[in-house]
């Protein structure tokens, strides 16, 4: 979809709940389920915010991208890649530039009912690391490549643990 404009991995409780409901090994976690596990607020900037402000928010929160909003409408995304590409192109890069001068306006996004696997495919095909989550034209979250990777590893660990229990007669 497009809008034009921790060290040790534990098994998440969501997998235990899914196992109790039917014992299936093939688990398809939705974006909505992933967002429920994430903590923190959605970090955004406006098109008129300065480059300095955007970079400070990113550094202070240890994130690689910010969704750019005007009111409640998503109008772009600003990432580390946007900054680096513009820094190379414009050798006179000023911290007073506005976000709208540097942001990407073609924004890939997902809906809450989509799966993590769909996010992975979209991120790979579109070479993006961050996907805003939009429901009823409203921003409700953001999924990063790190979120997808963490979930995928957790899911694989869960499957391995269940297969080991099955093999040893524990199920």
What is the pLDDT, as a whole number, of residue 73? Answer: 92
CA 102, CA 108: separation in Å to the nearest integer?
A: 17
What is the pLDDT, as a whole number, of residue 16? Answer: 45
Q: What are the structural domain ranges in the chain? A: 29-167
> pLDDT means per 10 residues in the chain (171 residues)?
37 46 62 85 95 96 95 93 81 82 93 94 93 94 92 85 82 54
Long-range contacts of 162-165 (CB under 8 A, 24+ apart): 162/19, 162/25, 163/25
What is the pLDDT, as a whole number, of residue 6? Answer: 29
Residue among 91, 101, 2, 90 at smallest CA distance from 54 = 101
What is the pLDDT, as a whole number, of residue 77? Answer: 96
What is the pLDDT, as a whole number, of residue 88? Answer: 73
Q: Which fold has domain 29-167?
A: CBS-domain (3.10.580)
What is the pLDDT, as a whole number, of residue 95? Answer: 84
């Amino acid at each position: 979809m497009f809008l034009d404009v921790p060290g040790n991995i534990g098994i998440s409780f969501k997998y235990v709940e899914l196992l109790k409901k039917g014992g299936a090994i093939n688990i398809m976690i939705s974006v909505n389920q992933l967002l429920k596990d994430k903590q923190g607020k959605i970090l955004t900037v406006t098109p008129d915010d300065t480059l300095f402000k955007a970079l400070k928010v990113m550094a202070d929160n240890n994130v690689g991208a910010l969704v750019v909003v005007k009111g409640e409408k998503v109008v772009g995304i600003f990432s580390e890649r946007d900054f680096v590409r513009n820094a190379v192109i414009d050798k006179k890069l000023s911290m007073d530039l506005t976000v709208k001068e540097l942001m990407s306006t073609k924004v890939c996004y997902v809906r809450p009912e989509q799966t993590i696997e769909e996010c992975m495919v979209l991120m790979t095909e579109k070479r993006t690391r961050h996907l805003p989550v939009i429901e009823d034209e409203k921003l409700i979250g953001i999924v990063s490549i790190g979120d997808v990777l963490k979930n995928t590893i957790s899911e694989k660990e869960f499957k391995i643990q269940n297969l080991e229990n099955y093999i040893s007669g524990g199920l």
